[in-house]
């Protein structure tokens, strides 16, 4: 038995992170051939953790477009095998090809699957003359991988999603499917069996869309897809709809922006299409096709839809925590009685042979990225030394004196009178000297000790003014909102130095203020007093109040409460609406109000009631 799964992952790295590793993600889908769409990987981003997993061979296509959109689209086919060489498994392809126009492989002087060649120049109805550059753009967005599994040819497709008013992208989508159709027809004329899986971004019929509007099926691309199906005279079976012709509410994609998954308000745009003869000799019978004879089941993997959907609060104009998983649901098909193949090896186009994976090629971007990482590490070493480096000394006058409580107090008094706090700044070059002196001191007098951890932290805090300057030079990171509300580190030096005479004042570093399981900073920064003769846990607050942060929080709460009081109520549920603004068009920027509930079928009274109301606009006369 052979199982094939198609899944729009909406970013492969987030899915790998969600499951812990690529291997766990693939094993969770439990299929022989797994086809991912919208991987959002570029060739520069490729690494073994997202394309290589033990027991799987990968074939990928990445976006090569130069429009500046970054990493988007992208497809990947993973084949589960017991051996990458001298294998007879159907899952391991005999050949693989990136794109479907044939131009990519022609440019590499390699053969295409089925020896497909487009004759240029060419014209197509509704498109006019098609240039070679347009055909290259079809393949350059990383939307197709073809793998030849001997008994069938598998197309992993990620179809373009376009808006009807974008004429350029509508032309691109039409060209995409017209050329794809030519490739299918060529292979079928050779007697090949074809499987097409992926996110086509087309819901063929009204039954495949929740609350489909009038005229839904008359859209150009829906008409094209239906023309490819057997019931409309085409060569393909829609495997899911052929197995479940009357099932309603079967959707594979949900809009997260409107909480569509709350009430199953989706569409079925992820498909498995299949065409070709069966493996039986009696091919003269009409019912003898690969679908009727070898497809055991095809269904939507509803249980795989979300990773943290249980106990999730209701969608009220948004959620405080984002749902794990993609906005799509995987679809699978199982085939039986598929013969084994002749002995063959992994094709040379597999991910294991890519220069980015094997390490033969290094891009300028990766080189500069590594350099930035090293600079960051150097800055961190200077500013926040590790435990082994916390033994760095203060200046020489303190090194020789700070061996007992009395001498430490005297030294601190001396420095507090002179105001020479810079001499207390830690210097890396004195590390070895302090360690050597400390070791010799311990060997001569066991009662004499080096600076305590608390005093080392105090000396570390005194050096922050110098090290922060280096940090700003080395790290060009953007400050966060949280940093705006934090107190200036210069205020940490406002702690009364006289308290150091009788005790050691320790200002905790950033890492110490973080909880072990929480990245947020603690609300109060305190100076912990550790008396030399008394190890009590008494503490006194340092001069670092959080009034500014508390005031900002209170102000936001006040604004939020005031907005709630002024928001209109929706007509269906008499609940406060949520404000939205127009993103484009003649009313761009204008405010309006809508029902806060998640979108759902019109028949469901618990779903969004459809309330819409423009916000009042003050006239210029009233404002004056």
Instruction: Please list the active-site residues.
Output: 328
- Yes or no: say if 394 and 425 are a contact pair by the CB < 8 Å rule: yes
3-state secondary structure of 240: helix
Token pair listed for 212: 């489909």
Tokens of 65: 């477009």
Other Cβ atoms within 10 Å of 50 Cβ, number: 22
DSSP secondary structure letter of residue 585: S
Which DSSP state fits 245? Answer: T
Residue linked to tokens 């899915």: 15
Strand partners, 592: 580, 614
Give the Cα-Cα-Cα angle 540, 546, 547 (nearest 5 degrees).
Answer: 120
How far is residue 331's CA from residue 146's CA, in Å, rounded to a whole number? Answer: 19
Q: Return the C-alpha torsion angle 109, 113, 115, 119, nearest 10.
A: -80
576: preceding bond cis by omega (within 30 degrees)? no
Quote the tokens at residue 507. 């200002």
125 burial (CB, 10 Å; 0-12 / 13-18 / 19+) is exposed
Beta-carbon contacts of residue 214 (< 8 Å; ≥ 6 apart): none
CA distances from residue 506 to 416, 452, 500, 503 in whole angstroms, order as listed: 16, 11, 9, 10
The pair of three-digit structure tokens given for residue 157, joined into one six-digit string: 């497709």
Going by C-alpha positions, the residue among 264, 270, 274, 256 that lies closest to residue 201 is: 270
Joined together, the tokens standing for residue 259 give: 């909480």
Collapsing DSSP states into helix, strand and coil, what is residue 459? Answer: helix
Burial status of residue 76 (CB atoms within 10 A of its CB: 0-12, 13-18, 19 or more): buried
Among candidate residues 558, 597, 598, 557, the one with its CA nearest the CA of residue 575: 597
Alpha-carbon distance of 174 to 183, in angstroms, equals: 14
CA gap 426, 460 in Å, rounded: 6
- Give the CA count within 13 Å in the CB-facing half-sphere of 15: 31
What distance in Å separates the CA atoms of residue 615 and residue 115, rounded to the nearest whole number?
61
**Closest Cα to residue 576, out of 566, 585, 567?**
567
- Tokens matching residue 596: 């806060």
């Amino acid at each position: 038995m052979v199982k094939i799964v198609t899944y729009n992952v909406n970013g492969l790295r987030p899915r790998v992170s969600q499951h812990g590793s690529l291997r766990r993600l693939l094993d969770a889908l439990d299929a022989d051939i797994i086809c991912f769409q919208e991987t959002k990987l570029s060739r520069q981003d490729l690494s073994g953790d997202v394309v290589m997993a033990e027991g799987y061979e990968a074939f990928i296509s990445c976006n090569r477009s130069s429009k500046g959109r970054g990493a988007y689209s992208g497809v990947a086919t993973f084949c589960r095998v017991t051996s990458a060489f001298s294998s007879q498994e159907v899952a391991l392809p005999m050949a693989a090809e990136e794109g479907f126009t044939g131009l990519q492989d022609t440019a590499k002087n390699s053969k295409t699957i089925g020896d497909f060649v487009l004759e240029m120049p060419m014209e197509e109805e509704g498109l006019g003359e098609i240039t070679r550059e347009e055909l290259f753009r079809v393949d350059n967005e990383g939307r197709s991988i073809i793998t030849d599994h001997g008994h069938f040819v598998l197309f992993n497709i990620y179809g373009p999603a376009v808006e009807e008013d974008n004429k350029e992208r509508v032309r691109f989508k039409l060209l995409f499917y017209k050329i794809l159709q030519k490739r299918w027809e060529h292979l079928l004329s050779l007697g090949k069996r074809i499987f097409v899986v992926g996110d086509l971004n087309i819901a063929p019929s009204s039954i495949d869309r929740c609350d489909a509007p009038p005229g839904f099926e008359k859209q150009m691309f829906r008409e094209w897809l239906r023309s490819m199906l057997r019931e409309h005279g085409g060569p393909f079976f829609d495997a899911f709809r052929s197995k479940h012709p009357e099932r309603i509410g079967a959707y594979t994609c949900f809009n997260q922006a409107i909480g569509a998954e709350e009430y199953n308000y989706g569409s079925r745009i992820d498909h498995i299409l299949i065409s070709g003869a069966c493996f039986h000799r009696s091919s003269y019978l009409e019912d003898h096709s690969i679908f009727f004879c070898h497809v055991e089941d095809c269904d939507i993997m509803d249980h795989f839809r979300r990773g943290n959907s249980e106990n999730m609060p209701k969608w009220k104009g948004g959620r405080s925590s984002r749902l794990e998983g993609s906005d799509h649901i995987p679809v699978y098909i199982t085939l039986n009685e598929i013969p084994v193949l002749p002995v063959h090896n992994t094709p040379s186009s597999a991910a294991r042979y890519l220069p980015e994976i094997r390490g033969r090629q290094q891009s300028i971007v990766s080189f500069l990225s590594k350099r930035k990482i090293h600079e960051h590490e150097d800055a961190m070493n200077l500013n926040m030394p590790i435990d082994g480096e916390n033994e760095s000394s203060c200046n020489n006058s303190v090194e020789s004196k700070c061996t007992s409580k009395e001498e430490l107090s005297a030294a601190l008094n001396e420095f507090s009178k002179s105001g020479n706090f810079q001499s207390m700044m830690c210097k890396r070059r004195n590390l070895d000297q302090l360690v050597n002196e400390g070791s010799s001191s311990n060997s001569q007098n066991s009662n004499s000790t080096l600076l305590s951890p608390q005093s080392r932290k105090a000396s570390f805090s005194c050096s922050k003014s110098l090290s922060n300057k280096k940090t700003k030079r080395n790290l060009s990171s953007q400050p966060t909102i949280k940093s705006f509300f934090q107190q200036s580190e210069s205020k940490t030096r406002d702690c009364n130095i006289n308290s150091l005479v009788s005790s050691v004042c320790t200002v905790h570093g950033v890492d110490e203020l973080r909880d072990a399981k929480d990245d947020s900073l603690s609300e109060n920064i305190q100076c912990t007093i550790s008396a030399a003769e008394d190890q009590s846990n008494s503490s006194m607050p340092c001069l670092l109040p959080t009034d500014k942060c508390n005031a900002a929080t209170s102000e936001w709460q006040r604004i939020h409460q005031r907005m709630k009081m002024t928001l209109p109520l929706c007509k269906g549920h008499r609940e406060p609406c949520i404000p939205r603004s127009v993103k484009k068009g003649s009313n761009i920027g204008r405010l309006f109000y809508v029902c806060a509930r998640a979108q759902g079928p019109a028949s469901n009274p618990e779903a969004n009631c459809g309330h819409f109301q423009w916000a009042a606009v003050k006239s210029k006369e009233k404002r004056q």
